[in-house]
């Protein structure tokens, strides 16, 4: 049987988050190229919520025990789409970090695929479950998939260690095409940015990054003759921006992910812990200094780029500030290295789609 109907779980193109938009847009494009003419239906990550008054943890536990009633409660809004599909593609971005919603998606797909005998792929993902009580659940899910693609090497090694037949791929965001320079400059002008500037972001673990340390980073960048542009599409970063008192701000309300890519191409440096903006910076050859995220995905990204020196712990200003200064002093060297590595990495994103 051919593949004319594809169900994409989780379709994050409508998410406010730039990274979710960028990586899922590219994933859909890859699927369209691999399966010309196929109909692709998307289900947002918010869809797998318990119905009938079930709590998330109870619903997940019941599904793991084989409860058809609990499975129906978790999959009510997209069960018919699952039955309709020739192939189910699980977009690991936003699903397998693990995010809070990860377990209910994982257990639901595992059970539905088994009962309905549906092939499924798990792609574009990072994973951190080794040694955790959830490891057997993720192992069962990944081993049942027809195709598994990790987006960075640390997760790849973890998947292999728990028995998955995974391939080393790269995040689909590596296939992003920048927006127009004219539009980017217009956005910068509206934000009040003139002359040299640095881009600063938050982190999925921004609560671990002391505000006073972030203020010291802002001051370091200003002392180097740059204005600081704070960018965010995740609402968790909004209070951080206010706490820092940043004068120049760009959010998803003003900029698309393609325009953000171009804005970062015009910056001297990017500093922060957002995974996808770091990818987009490397893609356009803009040096960065990164801080950790909520999993080891940033470590995996640094390994791919050969840029482990650019990942700094939250707590250590003694490393962050000197690293920023060193990167700025050696900007041309880092720009050339990142551009070269990006050309090597981008083709790996195609491994998310099995040929």
| Domain 181-347 fold | Rossmann fold (3.40.50)
List pLDDT tens digits, range 144-184.
Answer: 999 999 999 999 999 999 999 999 999 999 999 999 999 99
SS3 296: coil
Q: Which residues pair with 91 in a beta bridge?
A: 123
Q: How high does pLDDT run on average in the chain?
A: 92
What is the bridge-based pairing of β-strands 39-43 and 5-9?
A: parallel
pLDDT at residue 1 is higher than 60: no
Check whether the bond before 194 is cis (ω within 30° of 0). Answer: no
Percent of the chain residues past pLDDT 70, beyond the cut? 96
Task: Enter the pTM of the model.
Answer: 0.94
Domain locations in the chain?
5-169, 181-347
Summarize pLDDT for 312-355 with one digit per residue, the tens.
Answer: 987 777 889 999 999 999 999 999 999 999 999 999 999 999 98
| HEC readout, 3-48 | CCEEEEECCCCCCCCHHHHHHHHHHHHHHHHHCCCCEEEEECHHHC
How confident is the model over 256-313, as pLDDT tens digits?
999 999 999 999 999 999 999 999 999 999 999 999 888 889 999 999 999 999 999 8
Q: Which residues of 278-302 are buried (b: 16+ CB within 10 A; e: fewer)?
A: bbbbbbbbbbbbbbbbbbbbbbbbb
Give me the residues paired with residue 300 across strands.
none
Alpha-carbon distance of 196 to 85, in angstroms, equals: 50
What is the average pLDDT across 22-33?
Answer: 97
User: Could you check whether 5-169 and 181-347 share the same CATH topology?
Assistant: yes
pLDDT score for 138:
93
What is the fold, at CATH topology level, of the domain defined by 5-169? Rossmann fold (3.40.50)
Helix 257-266 with 18-34: angle, nearest 10 deg: 110
Q: Specify the higher pLDDT residue, 38 or 206.
A: 38
Please give the Cα distance from 106 to 63 (Å, whole number): 10
Cβ-based neighbour number of residue 334 at 10 Å: 24
**Closest to 266 in 3D by CA, of 199, 326, 342:** 199
d(CA 263, CA 255): 9
**What is the pairing mode between strands 39-43 and 120-125?**
unpaired
User: What would the mean pLDDT of 4-25 be, rounded to a whole number?
Assistant: 94
């Amino acid at each position: 049987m051919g593949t004319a109907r594809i169900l994409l779980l989780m379709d994050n193109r409508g998410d406010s988050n730039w990274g979710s938009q960028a990586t899922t847009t590219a994933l859909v494009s890859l699927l369209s190229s691999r399966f010309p003419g196929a109909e692709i239906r998307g289900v947002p990550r918010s869809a797998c919520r318990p119905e009938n008054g079930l709590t998330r943890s109870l619903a997940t536990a019941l599904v793991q025990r084989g409860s058809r009633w609990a499975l129906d409660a978790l999959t009510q809004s997209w069960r018919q789409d699952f039955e309709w599909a020739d192939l189910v593609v699980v977009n690991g971005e936003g699903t397998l970090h693990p995010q809070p919603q990860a377990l209910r998606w994982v257990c639901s797909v595992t059970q539905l695929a088994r009962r309905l005998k549906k092939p499924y792929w798990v792609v574009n993902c990072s994973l951190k479950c080794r040694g955790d009580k959830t490891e057997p659940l993720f192992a069962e899910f990944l081993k049942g998939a027809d195709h598994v693609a990790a987006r960075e090497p640390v997760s790849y090694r973890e998947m292999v260690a728990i028995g998955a037949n995974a391939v080393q791929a790269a995040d689909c965001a590596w296939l992003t095409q920048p927006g127009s320079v004219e539009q980017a400059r217009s956005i910068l002008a509206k934000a009040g940015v003139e002359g040299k500037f640095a881009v600063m972001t938050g982190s999925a673990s921004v609560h671990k990054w002391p505000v006073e340390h972030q203020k010291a980073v802002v001051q370091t960048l200003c002392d180097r003759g740059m204005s600081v542009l704070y960018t965010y599409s995740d609402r968790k970063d909004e209070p951080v921006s206010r706490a820092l008192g940043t004068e120049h701000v760009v959010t998803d309300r003003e900029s698309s992910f393609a325009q953000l890519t171009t804005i970062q191409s015009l910056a001297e440096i990017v500093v922060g812990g957002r995974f996808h903006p770091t990818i987009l910076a490397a893609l356009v050859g803009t040096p960065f200094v990164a801080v950790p995220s909520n999993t080891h995905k940033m470590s995996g990204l640094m390994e791919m780029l050969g840029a482990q020196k650019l990942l700094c712990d939250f707590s250590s200003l003694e490393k962050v500030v000197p690293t920023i200064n060193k990167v700025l002093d050696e900007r041309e060297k880092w720009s050339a290295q990142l551009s070269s590595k990006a050309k090597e990495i981008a083709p790996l994103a195609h491994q998310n789609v099995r040929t």
